[in-house]
Amino acid sequence: MKLAFVGKGGSGKTTMASLFARRAAALGHPVMAVDADINQHLAAALGLDAEAAAMGPVLGEHLADIKDHLRGTNPLVPSAELMLKTTPPGPGSRLLTVREPDPLLDRLFTEHGGIRFAATGGFVDDDLGVACYHSKVGAVELLLNHLVDGPEEFVVVDMVAGAEAFASGMFTRFDHTFLVCEPTLRSVGVYKQYLGYAEDYDVRISVIGNKTDDEDDVAFLREHVGDALLGWCSRSKYVKAAERGSVGPVADLESENLAVVDAARERAVAGGKDWAKFTRQAHEFHRKAALAWGNDKAGVDLADQIVPDYVLGEHLLGAPVH
């Protein structure tokens, strides 16, 4: 399952993403986690040494390598220069899995606590004033487009705060989106933005309330998000200790909060996977990118890279997925 964690900055989306990933890994599920936020905090939340993680490889600096690896022998993508972040896989493309060894993933991802982790990387000095952050997360979008994952496997992506995810088609790359929402008008406003942008794309959104103090907070969330409210987490001593650098076993999370994390996992699995929709939307956004700017840059019609009957999920390293 490909899962996005989104929300207003400071709502706790990184915390929830890390708790979800760590709980799933502790229960024996294969887990991949990606920090796709501008502010890179997921590594520390997962219990990695933040300074060591910051010195490691980041996806955004290896986009050319990622393109060259994923295009494989696909004759419709003869060079990395003709590959956009939206380019879908086709015959000959190199596909990835959550758990199987892969030379590129092994180089760019770090294994920690049963989780394969990577970060997009933040802005560097050369980016300031000239670069869009979506050029960084293009690497993540490509990986998601070429990743074959199962219903009991989890790819957890900590997304950029606010509604910035809708500046590209990456918001359609997920089987389920969890929006972490504080009981405030500003946080609820981000949920309503997401709902408005996503309504035409069949995006599954569940709201996880966070930092609730009392029944009034819960009533506020129920009033403003309705049936989308999956559950709510109270303020947590466990989380506070983790934010101070003491990341204990995830089973030590308060039982009522742990139950919300488990409910999120169960909701994701129950929703299932729709490979046909995933592929259809990949093709749609690739056409949009090709028409908007890709064709002019490449000098060819990049929409010709689309193979209509090639449905990801029916192909795993060149063989059918069972």
DSSP string, 26-63: HTT--EEEEE-SSS--HHHHTT--HHHHHHS--GGGGH
d(CA 155, CA 178): 13
User: What is the pLDDT confidence band of residue 133, given thresholds at 50, 70 and 90?
Assistant: low
The pLDDT, as a whole number, for residue 121 is: 83
Q: What is the pLDDT of residue 168?
A: 74
Question: Would you call 244 exposed, middle or buried from its count of C-beta atoms within 10 A (0-12, 13-18, 19+)?
Answer: exposed
Alpha-carbon radius of gyration of the chain: 19
Query: Model confidence at 315, in pLDDT bands (50, 70, 90)?
Result: low
Say what the pTM is.
0.93
Return the amino acid letter for 14.
Answer: T
Amino acid making up residue 234: S
How, if at all, do strands 96-97 and 2-7 pair?
Answer: unpaired
Give one DSSP letter per residue of 158-211, joined into a string: EPPSTTGGGGSGGGGS-SEEEEEE-SSHHHHHHHHHHHHHHTTTT--EEEEEEE
Instruction: Give residue-wise pLDDT tens across range 40-68.
Output: 899 999 999 877 777 788 999 999 999 99
Say if residues 62 and 142 touch (Cβ distance below 8 Å): no
- Specify the 3-state DSSP secondary structure of 134: helix
φ, ψ at 96 (rounded to 5°):
-115, 160
pLDDT band at 175 (very low <50, low <70, confident <90, very high): very high
Look up residue 314 and give its two tokens: 């029916």
Determine the pLDDT at residue 52. Answer: 76
How many whole angstroms separate alpha carbon 6 and alpha carbon 253? 21
- Among 252, 251, 255, 312, residue whose Cα is nearest residue 281: 312
pLDDT at position 114: 96
Between strands 115-119 and 110-112, the pairing is antiparallel
Q: Is the pLDDT of residue 152 over 70?
A: yes
The mean pLDDT of 265-294, rounded to a whole number, is 96
* C-alpha to C-alpha distance for 191 and 89, rounded to whole angstroms: 32
- pLDDT interval class at 230 (50, 70, 90): very high
